[in-house]
């Protein structure tokens, strides 16, 4: 069975990596679906985000993880790939409220689409890409939130 793990991954955090590893143990294939969001200005380009994830999954030896892009509605991507299970991580109650809403929209838009949730590992439950971007913007130490490779990519991007 395959699963889609969608997100912006701007950038990939330790929380995302933990999710990908856990999903790769549970499913035959994990499709990491990186959102192409023209409206939302990302710090890392689509190609950079993809490269970071690619390097990470190679380093971690996750052979059953593939990376794809998607634009527009997630349900259309699910239809195109023929994978109708989507996984998201839940860090806090606020995530639940936000995610529940999206999951309900998605299941209404596409009959049979299921969203499953994994509880974040508590040690990563405060980490967000937006928090990492904020720290990086002011040249702070991001080493507790991202992998070494992502830290290097951040330092290159933010010139420090």
Token pair of 137, please? 């913007």
C-beta closer to ligand PNS: residue 85 or 106: 106
DSSP state of 122: G
**139 catalytic, yes or no?**
no
For residue 159, say if its preceding peptide bond is cis, omega within 30 degrees of 0.
no
The annotation places the binding site for ATP at: 8-9, 16, 89-91, 99, 124-130
115, β-bridge pairs: 86
Q: Which residue in the set 25, 47, 105, 152 belongs to the binding site for ligand PNS (CB under 6 A)? A: 105
- Report 67-86 residues binding ligand PNS (CB under 6 A): 73-74
C-beta closer to ligand PNS: residue 100 or 139: 100
- 15: Cβ–Cβ under 8 A, 6 or more apart, which residues? 89, 91, 120, 121, 124, 125, 127, 128
**129 catalytic, yes or no?**
yes
C-beta closer to ligand PNS: residue 105 or 160: 105
Distances (CA, A) of 121 to 18, 40, 82, 93, 99: 8, 28, 29, 14, 17
7 part of the interface to ligand PNS, by CB under 6 A: yes
Are residues 146 and 16 in contact, defined by beta-carbon separation less than 8 angstroms? no
160 part of the interface to ligand PNS, by CB under 6 A: no
102 part of the interface to ligand PNS, by CB under 6 A: yes
11 part of the interface to ligand PNS, by CB under 6 A: no
The single residue of 91, 120, 133, 147 carrying the catalytic annotation is 91
């Amino acid at each position: 069975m395959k699963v889609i793990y969608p997100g912006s991954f701007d950038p990939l955090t330790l929380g995302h990596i933990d999710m990908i590893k856990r999903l790769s143990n549970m499913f035959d294939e994990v499709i990491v679906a990186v959102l192409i969001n023209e409206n939302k200005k990302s710090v890392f380009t689509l190609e950079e985000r993809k490269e970071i994830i690619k390097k990470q999954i190679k380093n971690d030896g996750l052979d059953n993880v593939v990376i794809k892009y998607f634009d527009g509605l997630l349900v259309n991507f699910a239809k195109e790939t023929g994978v109708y299970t989507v996984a998201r991580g839940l860090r806090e109650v606020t995530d639940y409220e936000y995610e529940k809403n999206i999951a309900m929209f998605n299941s209404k838009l596409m009959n049979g689409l299921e969203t499953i949730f994994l509880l974040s590992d508590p040690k990563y439950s405060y980490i967000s890409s937006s928090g990492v971007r904020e720290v990086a913007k002011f040249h702070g130490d991001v080493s507790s939130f991202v992998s070494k490779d992502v830290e290097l990519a951040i330092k290159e991007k933010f010139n420090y």
